[in-house]
Amino acid sequence: MKLVKKILAAVLALGMSSVLLAGCSDGAGNQSVAKIKESGEIVMYTNAAFAPFEYVDGQDVKGVDVEIALEIAKELGVELKVKDVKFDSIVPGIESGKAAFGAAGITITEDRKKSVDFSIEYYTSVQYIICKEDADFAKTEDLAGKAIGVQLGTTGDFLISDAIDGTEDEETKEHVKGVLEGSGASCKQYANAIEASQDLMNGRIDAVVIDKLPAESIVNNNSGLKCVKLEDAEPEAYGICVSKGNEELLKVIDEVLNRLISEGKIDSFVLAHSNA
């Protein structure tokens, strides 16, 4: 009898530890769908200086990403909490489980994919140059010798920093000269593109590089500025990020995005917030 009990205890312990292990290895951590439902709320990280995707309106954060997030919260039957944080702390914050997902017009990149998992693409964009109305820029090359403002940690920042500093060839490890290298151009990193554009209007910098729709929004809200497509920039796809391995939450997000895309809702959200 004693032996039977011992075996039983051992089997039970084994079973329990595998349950514990499974709980850890799903990658969802404290942001699993079960935990979110239990807490009754889902936390989103964003950076609300990027209209029409997210912007501050009085006490609220509004925009396309908030509309999408509300649909995600509704699907889960929980309340949405939006946290306005620095853009470059969104991916690390999601990675460490401080929030369930990041929605901030975030471009899906290979580098970011090392830290977080991305949803399906929900919008395509491209980098734009904001400048004074009388300036004449079209390509990165045209910014030679200029002071260029970017939002810290964005793809616009990477593009300009790489053009000024050059890059390293992944295979040969050799230095690849950037198109602005040695031209005297400088990259000034700001908390957001709105602050960068303020410096542009004050004459402290010559151009701001940021995504298309936020560039258009800034130009619409300020006189004396215009914006043009950065001719040599590649298209970028936006995705929502979750912590690595949080497949269950990602599935819900993808389902919501697929539905919104097929109903043409993303475009109507963009239109609805385009005066911001």
Binding site for ligand ARG (CB under 6 A): 46-47, 49-50, 53-54, 87, 104-107, 151, 154-155, 192, 211, 236
In Å, what is the CA distance from 241 to each residue of 168, 170, 252, 257?
27, 26, 12, 13
Give the C-alpha separation, 137 to 135, whole Å. Answer: 6
In Å, what is the CA distance from 63 to each residue of 16, 84, 108, 213?
45, 13, 19, 12
Nearer to ligand ARG, 120 or 144 (CB): 120
Q: How far is the CB of 142 from ligand ARG (least distance, A)?
A: 21
Burial class (CB in 10 A: 0-12, 13-18, 19+), 7: exposed
**Tokens 């994919």 — which residue?**
113
Q: How far is the CB of 108 from ligand ARG (least distance, A)?
A: 8
Q: How far is the CB of 54 from ligand ARG (least distance, A)?
A: 5
Backbone angles phi, psi at 57, to 5 degrees: -130, 100
Q: Which residues contact 253 (CB under 8 A, 6 or more apart)?
A: 72, 101, 119, 240, 242
Q: How far is the CB of 239 from ligand ARG (least distance, A)?
A: 9
Nearer to ligand ARG, 32 or 101 (CB): 101
Q: Which residues contact 70 (CB under 8 A, 6 or more apart)?
A: 80
Nearer to ligand ARG, 192 or 243 (CB): 192
Nearer to ligand ARG, 185 or 209 (CB): 209
Q: Which residues contact 12 (CB under 8 A, 6 or more apart)?
A: none
Q: How far is the CB of 260 from ligand ARG (least distance, A)?
A: 19
Nearer to ligand ARG, 142 or 211 (CB): 211
Q: How far is the CB of 92 from ligand ARG (least distance, A)?
A: 14
Burial of 8-22, coded b for 16+ CB within 10 Å and e otherwise, reads eeeeeeeeeeeeeee
Nearer to ligand ARG, 50 or 128 (CB): 50
